[in-house]
Structure 1
Amino acid sequence: MITIISATNRPGSSTLKVARYYQKRLLETGEEAGILSLVQLPANLLETDLYGKRSAEFQKIQDIVTATDKFIFIIPEYNGSFPGALKVFIDACSFPESFYDKKAALVGISSGKYGNIRGIDHFTGVCHYLHLNTMPLKLHIANIKTEFNEYSDLFKEDTVKFTNEQIEKFIKF
């Protein structure tokens, strides 16, 4: 099972648009993929689901994570790194069954010109610690607001080319 993580809890984000694009492309190849948006996290996650506690609300999310074999993380740049909500999500998930020896593809996005290069590097370190095997081809999509057409699909030739390449390689990974 492939789960695409929209790695921000910001409602209406470009991150979720990119996650939907990846889901659509995967479905077109015959691969089933679900989206887990961090908007779905319980509002009181810090109080209810860290340090061995588990709420019924987060258990539904944990069940999805546990059942997933492959993850695609769409990660926006927040203050030169990845969102704190993503780290809290990772910390709330059970270890080791959530991520250990599973596979991941990483996609950085930003409104600036670097496509969250640093954040993807930082998150790669977290993945290594968790024994979450990351695919070597990591994408960095800069100036994200200029990348969507009127249907909220990525449309720029290079971006479509590289996302297609990443998706093809990830299916085989």
Structure 2
Amino acid sequence: MPIRVLALVGSLRSGSHNRQLAQAAGKLAPEGVEIDIHEGLADVPLYNEDIDIEGSVPAAAARLREAADGADAFLLLSPEHNGTLPAALKNAIDWCSRPRGSAALAGKPAAVIGASAGRFGGARAHDDARRALGVAGAVVLEHAPLAIPGSRARFADVQPVQDAEVTEQLPAIIEQLAAAATEAAAS
């Protein structure tokens, strides 16, 4: 049975380099690992306990939770918006961190990577995402960094799947996620 990695892309922009990175992850994933890119983060309402009621959770949030429940691991792909992670990605973490005690993120491995137009490559956003994931109960892979700065220029003429750093580092990160998912399932 393949290891299912749910990719959550923080950029909602069409032509997003982070979406292209997620697609590259699907192409570069080792045999036995499937990368599922979740569509529809833009449709998930802001987390609010008043609407998080069993049987009446908004449809987009329920679809996200269902996808997260079925995942063995998570790959978050994030640019940096004003020095932190995009609201859509933080909102996805919030929805997947509930309900307490049976959250979809709990005990599952997660890695955060991404590209950003800025000079830090989204590193500050990645730190914030890792912190939020850890608080939410995910097992965060701290040593799986891939933060690509200057993505507009870097990917102007080449797709991420053709980039040497991406093709070298991304498969290794996915392998780390798969190994952590296998270990988590065995315990």
Give the TM-score range, shorter chain. 0.7 to 0.9
Distance 1:159 1:34 in 2: 18
Q: Is the 8 A contact 1:148 1:154 kept in 2?
A: no
Q: Which residue of 2 aligns with 1:78?
A: 81
SS of the residue corresponding to residue 128 of structure 2 reads helix
Q: Name which structure has the greater RCO, CA cutoff 8 Å, separation 6+.
A: 2
Q: Could you report, residue by residue, the CA deviation over 1:44-66 in whole angstroms, capped at 9, with x for unpaired residues?
A: x13xx621241133322221111
Q: Calculate the TM-score normalised by the size of structure 2.
A: 0.79
Q: Is the 8 A contact 1:108 1:119 kept in 2?
A: no
Q: Which residue of 1 aligns with 2:183?
A: none
Identify if the C-alpha distance between structure 1 residues 9 and 157 changes in structure 2 by more than 3 Å, giving closer, same or farther. closer
Q: Shift of the alpha carbon at 1:4?
A: 1.0
Identify if the C-alpha distance between structure 1 residues 150 and 109 changes in structure 2 by more than 3 Å, giving closer, same or farther. closer
Q: Which residue of 2 aligns with 1:18?
A: 21
Q: Which residue of 2 aligns with 1:29?
A: 31
SS of the residue corresponding to residue 32 of structure 1 reads strand
Q: Could you report, residue by residue, the CA deviation over 1:58-96 in whole angstroms, capped at 9, with x for unpaired residues?
A: 322221111112000011111111001111222233334
Range 128-137 or range 155-164, more displaced: 155-164
Q: Is the 8 A contact 2:73 2:108 kept in 1?
A: yes
Which segments of 5 or more consecutive residues in structure 2 lack a partner in the other structure?
A: 181-187
Q: How does 1:1-173 map to 2 (within 5 A)?
A: 1-26=4-29, 29-37=31-39, 39-42=40-43, 45-46=45-46, 50-51=48-49, 52-53=52-53, 54-93=57-96, 94-95=98-99, 96-135=102-141, 136-148=143-155, 152-173=159-180
- Residue type of the alignment partner of 1:162: Q
Range 112-121 or range 144-153, more displaced: 144-153
Distance 2:161 2:178 in 1: 20
Distance 1:154 1:147 in 2: 12
Q: Which runs of 4+ in 1 moved over 6 A?
A: none
Range 156-165 or range 69-78, more displaced: 156-165
* Identity in percent: 22
Root-mean-square deviation (CA, aligned residues, Å) is 2.2
Range 99-108 or range 28-37, more displaced: 28-37
Which segments of 5 or more consecutive residues in structure 1 lack a partner in the other structure?
A: none
Q: Calculate the TM-score normalised by the size of structure 1.
A: 0.84
SS of the residue corresponding to residue 34 of structure 1 reads strand
Equivalent pairs counted in the alignment come to: 168
